[in-house]
A and B are shown apart, each in its own frame.
Chain A
Amino acid sequence: MADGAVLTRIETGGVPGSAPPATASHVTVRGLTKRFGTASIYERFDLDIPRGMLVSVFGPNGCGKSTLINIIAGLIPPDAGEILFDGKPLHEIKFGYVFQNYREALFPWLRSVDNIEYPLKLLKIPKAQRRARVEQLVNHLGVKIDIKRYPYEMSGGQQQLISIMRALVVEPEILFLDEPFSALDYEMTLFMREQLQRIFMETGTTTVLVSHDLEEAVYLADRILLLSRGPAQIADYVRFDTARPRTDTTLSDNAFIATKAHCLEVFQREVRKG
């Protein structure tokens, strides 16, 4: 079997030997409880997100994939529980969040470059420095789009790329993406996966990606978090260690196929339970 094809259940805190260097937990979720009306979405839920890894969140419809990152990112208040980033609360760290609906998340009255600068403006960073930071980011990522244009003058993929850059410009400790590519067509989705992989390889930012596409979830991830139906529990926390950059041939690797098949099996088991 290829390297990294071993499917291991990651126990919180436990790190198997053959994996990349030991990674401390970056985000710790303890005792998270969230109810919507009478529906219990999370009940004393615990989770660790390792530093510098890309974690995909996958699970049945309505299990609370998006709710999880929305709570972690402070968009929805939890009913109970504690979420810490290196032991610090959310308001003490810098983070980025990318919405599924880029059309509604970007500000159409601002040029793309000003959209990207917006979070820096909130941090009261002077104009010249803001410009420099954006320019640096553009060069760093090798983005080849004219950011002087307005978002509505761009394609969907370009707009989402602007959203991602807006999230990255503050040099976040952690990046959240809520189904970022699901509003794009297939061709653009494939292109954007590569962009995200490149960005992740360049920056090494801890990334949490909610996805409804298992292929995408596995292809991009170091860890695939599989959730059960509500109240959601960790059905499995699968590792996928294939070296980056991953390419089209990764999709036909034994390791990829085995991991994806395993995830699908867990997923279907959870769907049948509901």
Chain B
Amino acid sequence: MRKAFDPFLPVLGVIGLIALWYLAVWIRIVDPVLLPSPTDTFQAMYKGLAGGRLGFDFVKTVERTILATVIAAAIAIPLGVFLGASERLYRSVEFVVDFFRSTPASAMFPLFLVLFGVGNETKISVAAFGAALVILFNVAYGVMNARKTRLLAAKVMGASRLQVLTGVVLLESMPQTFIGLRNGVSLALVIIVVAEMFIGSTDGLGHRVFEAQQLFNMPDMYAAIFAAGALGYGLNLLFLVVERHFVHWSGK
């Protein structure tokens, strides 16, 4: 009986949060202008997503985030395999990678603005830059940490260096690559949303949040925030599902 209820445990937190929210609105602990009721917020969200501006902005942000991640992966995965294949090579660039990985990507906006102007390219390229470093670092470590016994096993059966690389090393690094992709897409979303707020944007979830705040339209603002949250959660979940399918052996 207790066990049967377990899958519904996560719902408890959601119900609890909404109940607290209703309570806060009801006892007017916060100015009602600043904190609209859950009902108003979800209505705004429904209207916005069903054919309203919010839906359009949502799609824009999804497009940018996916594009940035795809570009990042296309550059970082081959480069990570190349660098990781030789530990000494990776050690020689490790400091540079770690340095820029630790640099807040938002600090790079001015530089990219100079390079690409105030268009879509800047947002996507900054996000791709941030995501690429995260993916690169994970892929390189995945390759470097490939189980030595497994490489030896392939070698002892007569596999050439190329066959070991494509048939063993690449697959060995897959679990770590997916960790990089998941972190990369999350970071790309963060950067895209920030960029949409401040870099001459006319659309995107960041723009929606910012504009609603400027107009003091709080239900719309909360709706956009929740939409961004749902997007982040959804992207993470998507990569997890893809990972479970393609990297079924991960952690086993």
Interface residues of A (CB under 8 A from B): 73-75, 97, 99, 101, 104-109, 118-119, 122-123, 150, 152, 166, 170
Contact = CB atoms under 8 A, between A and B. Distances in A.
Given A99-B149, A107-B171, A109-B171, A150 B248 contact: yes
Contacts of B147: 104
Contact of A152 (B152, B157, B171, B252): B252
Interface of B: 147, 149-150, 152-159, 163, 168, 171, 174, 247-249, 252
B249 A150 contact: yes
A4 B180 CA distance: 62
A75 B152 CA distance: 7
A152 B251 CA distance: 10
A122 B150 contact: no
Select the residue from A73, A106, A109, A166 with max chain B CB neighbours within 10 A.
A109
Q: Which 10 A-B pairs have the closest CB atoms?
A: A108-B249, A104-B149, A152-B252, A119-B157, A105-B153, A104-B147, A97-B156, A109-B171, A122-B158, A105-B149
Contacts of A99: 149, 152-153
Nearest to B250: A108
14 contacts: A75-B152, A75-B156, A101-B149, A105-B150, A107-B150, A107-B171, A108-B249, A108-B252, A109-B247, A109-B248, A150-B249, A152-B249, A152-B252, A170-B157
A118 B174 CA distance: 19
A119 B249 contact: no
A83 to B, nearest CB: 15
Given A104-B149, A122-B158, A123-B158, 5 more contacts: A74-B156, A75-B155, A105-B153, A107-B168, A119-B157
B209 to A, nearest CB: 42
Contacts, number: 45
A75 B248 CA distance: 30
A101 B151 CA distance: 13
Contacts of B249: 108-109, 150, 152
Nearest to B149: A104
Main secondary structure of the interface of A (DSSP, over half): loop
B156 A73 contact: yes
A101 B147 CA distance: 11
B220 to A, nearest CB: 47
Contacts of B154: 118
A99 B150 CA distance: 10
A148 to B, nearest CB: 14
A31 B92 CA distance: 41
Nearest to B168: A107
Select the residue from B147, B153, B247, B249 with max chain A CB neighbours within 10 A.
B153
A266 to B, nearest CB: 31
Contacts of B150: 104-105, 107
Select the residue from B149, B150, B156, B249 with max chain A CB neighbours within 10 A.
B156
A74 B150 CA distance: 15
Contacts of A101: 149
A179 B181 CA distance: 39
A97 B155 CA distance: 11
Contacts of B155: 75
A105 B155 CA distance: 11
Contacts of B171: 107, 109
Contacts of A152: 249, 252
Contacts of A122: 157-159, 163
Contacts of A74: 156
B163 to A, nearest CB: 7
Nearest to A167: B157
A256 to B, nearest CB: 33
A107 B252 CA distance: 12
A43 B247 CA distance: 46
Nearest to B159: A122
Nearest to A120: B157
A149 to B, nearest CB: 12
A162 to B, nearest CB: 12
Nearest to A109: B171
A108 B172 CA distance: 9
A151 to B, nearest CB: 8
Contacts of B158: 119, 122-123
Nearest to A118: B157
Contacts of B248: 109, 150
A108 B150 CA distance: 10
Nearest to B246: A109
A266 B158 CA distance: 38
A79 B152 CA distance: 20
A123 B163 CA distance: 12
Nearest to A104: B149
